[in-house]
Every structure is written in structure tokens, then in C-alpha cells.
Amino acid sequence: MLINKISLRGLTTVVLVYMVFAFGWWAVQLWRENDRVFKLSEELLERKYGGPNRGINLTELRATAEYKELIDRQEKHQRMIFAEGVFFTLCLGFGLYVINRAAKREVVLARQRRNFLLSITHELKSPIASLRLTMETLSRRTLNRDQMETLCNNGLRDATRLQNLVEDLLLAARLEDNWSPHPEPVDLLQIAQDCVINLKTRFPKTNINIDIPDAFSTILADKSGMTAVVQNLLENAVKYSPSGTPVQLSVRQIQGKTQLVVSDEGVGIPNSEKLAIFDKFYRIGNEETRQTTGTGLGLYIVKQVVEAHHGKITVTDNRPAGSIFTVEI
Ligand code: ADP
């Protein structure tokens, strides 16, 4: 896209400089014209009052009501030119700022859309190809029990991956549409355990430690929403950590609020990315060189669901490495 190639800031600066110069030039012309009109009017007055018969001198002329009115008019025109100049420059600056911001946003959105298309294609292609291969092997070969089990587990892993993807896409679409939660008693421990089973099919070395006291396990919230929150946070913690690294999920009650914390010892998140990761389709780094799978929808969904419950989500650094996501509802 052309707008990507040309530096947006450079283009805006050139346009701004041109417009300021052009406008400045017109303002100077107008100012001069105003002075010229004043001088001509002054001359006319001098001729009118300073003729041979009337003999009025310059000091007397400047004391006349007509001359004072002329001065007033000239000053009024000067003030008008100045005020309009300032107003126009402010409008111009504001207009360019708005255009620049919108164009920048458009570039970011275009990049995110492209990233999303690349990642979703990959996310769909690989489990489908893998499922095909599993089915072909199952149908063509005579296999022993162990081999069948391995293939079935692989098939199950791919199907789970596709199911998670479809659920994320559907939920993201619903969230766009003024989604509101349907509160019901939700057992966080049960959700967490189901998520761990689910994750183990894809990441067999998953090492998740769940610390949810019975007293805090059941909360009033939207079940599908909370499942998405726990699933996405746990999946990210596992995905962005070296295989087998411990992940901790704990739930506490603090000042009447439920606090759900997911911490990992993985790659961590730079401070400069801590806000952007919650944007739709946003993924850190470049899609062409990325190793991990994903669509950039997970944290967007988590944030939307949490905010729909009037809660908040924060991310901080873990020590010595990794991230801590804290959800407060
Ligand atoms: P996805 O995981 O599908 O890429 P998310 O919206 O879940 O999308 O996350 C957005 C980005 O935030 C990820 O691409 C990743 O770079 C970063 N991220 C999320 N969770 C973690 C984590 N626990 N550790 C390090 N990076 C993370």
C-alpha cells in the first residue's frame, strides 16, 4: 500500500509546511493591501482638508473625527486579519492532527488485518492437514492398539484446536455486538480443570498448578465468558513459556472481589507492548517469522469479557522471568 511506503509523518509535515507558508503569504498580502488602502484614504483626507484654501496642517488633520475613524477602521482590519490567521492556523493544525491520527490508525488496522489473515490461514490449515493425514493413515493401514491410540489422540488434539479457534471467533463476533454476560453460578475450579485436560491434548508437558480454595471457587458470572478467560490466559501462559515450565493459577477473594491470577515463567512481555496486546488481532512481532500459533484474539476476548463484568485485567512482570495476568471481578 502506497501509504505504507511513504512516511506518513513526512507527508503530513510537507503539507503542513506548504499550507502554513501559503497562508502566511496571503496574510502578508492582505496586511499590505490594508496598509495601502489606509495610505490612500489618508492621502484623500489630506487632499480634502489640506487644499490651498483650507490650509489645515497634519497635526490638526490627525485630530479630526474622520481621521480617527480611518485609524480605527485600519486597526480593526488588522485585528481581523490577525485573529482569522490564528483561528485558521489552529483549525488547520487540528484538522491535520485528526487526519494523521485516522491515517495512522488505518495503517495499524490494515497491518493487523493482514496478520490476522496470515495467522488464521495457518491456524486452519495445519490442523486440517494433520486430521486428513490421521484419517488417511487410519483408513489405509492395519494398526495395533498403541498406534491407533496415538493417532486418535493426535486427531483429538487437532479437533480441539479447531474447536477452540471457532469458539474464539464466535465469541469475538458476539463481543462486537454489545455482548452482555448472563450471570449464573460458575465453578472456576471445574473450568480450570477442564482447561488443563484440554491443554494437555495439545501441550502434553503442560505443568499447571491450580490453587483455588473451595470457598472462592463458585462465582456469579457468565459461564462461556469465564471459560474463555481461563482458557485463553492458561493457554498463553503455556504457549509463551518453554515446554514444561510451571504455570500457576490461583483465585483469592480481596475486599469482596474475586481475584484470578495466572503467572508463568516464560518469555515475558515488554512494557511497550503491555497495552497493545489487548487489542484485537494484535500479536507481538512479525507474523512471517513467528513460531507460536495464535490469532491475536485471545487477550482481546479476555479483556472484553472482564470489562463486561465490570472488572479489570492487568499484566505485570514475573520475577525472575515471565508474566502475571491479574483479573479482578
Ligand atoms: P495469540 O496468543 O493468539 O497471539 P493473544 O491475544 O492471546 O493472541 O495474545 C496477544 C499477544 O500477547 C501474543 O501474540 C503474545 O505475543 C503476547 N502474550 C500473551 N500472553 C503472553 C504471555 N503469557 N507471555 C508472553 N507473551 C504473551
| Ligand 1 site, residue 133, Cβ cutoff 6 A | no
| Cα 240 to ligand 1 centroid, rounded to whole Å | 7
Q: Which residue has the higher pLDDT, 190 or 295?
A: 190
| Ligand 1 site, residue 318, Cβ cutoff 6 A | no
Q: What is the pLDDT of residues 221-248, one digit of tens each?
A: 999 999 999 999 999 999 999 998 999 9
Query: What's the one-letter identity of residue 42?
Result: E
Q: How many CB atoms lie within 10 A of CB 153?
A: 13
- pLDDT score at 201: 82
Q: How confident is the model at residue 270 (pLDDT cuts 50, 70, 90)?
A: very high
Q: Which residue has the higher pLDDT, 176 or 241?
A: 241
Q: Which residue has the higher pLDDT, 58 or 326?
A: 326
What is the rounded average pLDDT of the residues 42-46? 85
Which of 199, 272, 299 has most ligand 1 atoms within 8 Å of CB, for mutation?
299
Residue nearest to atom 7 of ligand 1 (CA): 298
In contact, 160 and 201? CB cutoff 8 Å: yes
Residue 315 pairs with which residues in a beta bridge? 325
Residue 279, pLDDT > 80, answer: yes
Which of 236, 282, 295 has most ligand 1 atoms within 8 Å of CB, for mutation?
236
Cα(156)–Cα(131) distance, integer angstroms = 9
Q: How confident is the model at residue 80 (pLDDT cuts 50, 70, 90)?
A: very high
| Ligand 1 site, residue 267, Cβ cutoff 6 A | yes
- pLDDT score at 66: 86
Segments making up each domain of the chain, as ranges: 2-112, 114-176, 184-328
Which three cell numbers, joined as nine digits, stand for 190?
471445574
Q: How confident is the model at residue 196 (pLDDT cuts 50, 70, 90)?
A: very high
- pLDDT score at 303: 96
Residue 1, pLDDT > 70, answer: no
| Ligand 1 site, residue 131, Cβ cutoff 6 A | no
- Is 184-328 CATH 1.10.3720.10? no
In 141-222, alpha helices (H): 145-176, 188-202, 214-217
| Ligand 1 site, residue 225, Cβ cutoff 6 A | no
Cα(30)–Cα(40) distance, integer angstroms = 15
% of the chain at pLDDT higher than 70: 94
User: To the nearest whole number, what is the mean pLDDT of the chain?
Assistant: 88
Q: What is the pLDDT of residues 109-142, one digit of tens each?
A: 888 788 888 888 888 998 999 999 999 998 887 8
CATH class, 114-176 region: mainly alpha
| Ligand 1 site, residue 269, Cβ cutoff 6 A | yes
What is the rounded average pLDDT of the residues 279-294? 75
